[in-house]
Amino acid sequence: MFNVKVRLHGQDVKEFALESGHEYTFGRSSDCDVRLEEHPGISRTHFKISEVDGSWEVQVLSKFGDLTHNGTPIQNLQLEDGTVFKLAGYDFLMFERAATAASKTHQQAEEDYQLPMASGQSEVAPSSNLPACLTPVEFEGSDESTKIIETASVGLPFIRIVEGSGKEETVKLEGRKWLAGREDGSQILLNDRKASRKQFELSSSPQGNFIRDLGSSNGTLLNGMPLAADELKAIRSGDVIQVGQLAIHFEVRDPNFERRLMVVPQEVLSSTPALMQPMPYEMINYPVPSGPGGAVRVDQSGSPVVYEGQDFSNERSVQEAKNKKFRFYIIAALVLAVPVYFLMEEPEQPKKKPKAEAASNDPFTKLTPQQQQQVKELIVVGRNLFIQGKQANAAEQLRKLHAILPSGFENSLAMAAECEEQERIEQARRAVERELQQAAEN
């Protein structure tokens, strides 16, 4: 028999057993079997759990919000032992009811370790960005207590903070949960006036890494897209978090990478490999008799068959005559080619200036490496927002780029001009709408 455990922001709020033949509804309505708290992302009757052909399934009933399983939106899902799905700040866990108290205690310890703890302690979906695989966790204890005695490291999370001036700072994240903001006690200190005291929270678990905006005043961008307040979002190595002028790069690094590199002795690197010496041999023009079709005839020992009375002198004289004729043709061709070469030779063209000189005049090459990296990141984010039709956001990214590089990078100037044109059109449209509204009111 299966049980369902409901967690809100990491705290257990309800647990019940699923009875065969019964259907369970979840939502804000008082008519639901499991009533959830008021939240913009939760409908009155959001989803149901029912038994279909002997197995339990979850099905979304709302038209405006999917459930999330392993970081992927779902409409329906067959439930198994250990299945976890999410909605807003809620986690829903399916697990098989244990037969004895001891096994239940052991299973509960596993769930507490493996389950994501929603929002505040977010630990979710398997992530393909981790450089190594998980190994099973070993447990040790009795009915009264259970503890984890060993877990395998799957990679160490780091963040690289790039300020608007190009200054960089790398921070190694230790533990499982990290607070980012302007507050002095934050593990990730954000030195930007647009950052809130508590901006966002990062968390790590065996299922992956996650980010949650803590209701910040100016919002948090992940790869150019704004995060919803108090909602978990999977984050992978290489993703970029943006707060004001700060670009925060999230990276997961393999701690054993350098250990696995082969150390080559210096004497091996400095020594020059000896060239292969050719085997001494002498070319011998040995006449080989051939049979019909050019096949070489050999005896049982593999040696060429030589017939008695066979004369090879005539064959050698014919071959020498062919060689002399061939050499004559080569010499005649060379004699004719020399005057033709001088007649067809064109006057020497002026040498082109090396590309290095042209490249030296490129303003981008005069930037610091940090500024170059920031310009490349801003053009990527700005282009993505421009393609998505978010011209206002794209214009903001391009303004930051042009503050660093006024001459522009790639097609940034053209995109900025297009964004300004769209903004002018939008302002004109709004002005017309206001005039029509005022006329209707009068």
pLDDT-above-90 percentage for the chain: 19
What is the spatial order of strands in the sheet that 232-235 belongs to? 188-189, 177-181, 200-205, 208-213, 232-235
Nearest Cα residue to 236 out of 383, 144, 84, 129: 129
Q: Can you give the pLDDT at residue 122?
A: 38
Domain's final residue, options 73, 96, 119:
96
Q: Does some domain include residue 44?
A: yes
Q: Can you give the pLDDT at residue 24?
A: 95
Q: Can you give the pLDDT at residue 149?
A: 38
Neighbours of 96 (CB within 10 A): 12
Q: Domain check: are 79 and 163 in the same one?
A: no
Q: Can you give the pLDDT at residue 411?
A: 86
CATH of the domain at 193: 2.60.200.20
Q: Does some domain include residue 293?
A: no
Q: Can you give the pLDDT at residue 129?
A: 43
Q: Does some domain include residue 430?
A: yes
Q: Can you give the pLDDT at residue 318?
A: 64
Positions of the chain with pLDDT lower than 70, given as ranges: 97-154, 255-318, 338-360
What is the spatial order of strands in the sheet that 67-69 belongs to? 11-17, 2-8, 90-96, 84-87, 67-69, 72-74
Q: Measured between alpha carbons, how far is 434 from 294 in angstroms, rounded to an integer?
A: 98
Task: Judge if pTM exceeds 0.85.
Answer: no
Domain's final residue, options 96, 124, 139:
96
Q: Domain check: are 166 and 241 in the same one?
A: yes
Q: Does some domain include residue 27?
A: yes
Task: Outline where 115-253 has alpha helix (H).
Answer: none
CA neighbours closer than 13 Å in the CB half-sphere of residue 241: 30
Q: What is the 3-state secondary structure (H, E, C) of 193-226?
A: CCCCCCCEEEEEECCEEEEEECCCCCCCEECCEE
51: domain range?
2-96
Domain's final residue, options 236, 253, 270:
253
Q: Can you give the pLDDT at residue 239?
A: 93
Q: Does some domain include residue 129?
A: no
Task: Outline where 271-354 has alpha helix (H).
Answer: 313-344
Q: Does some domain include residue 186?
A: yes
Which residue shows structure tokens 């009933």? 61
What domain count does the chain have?
3
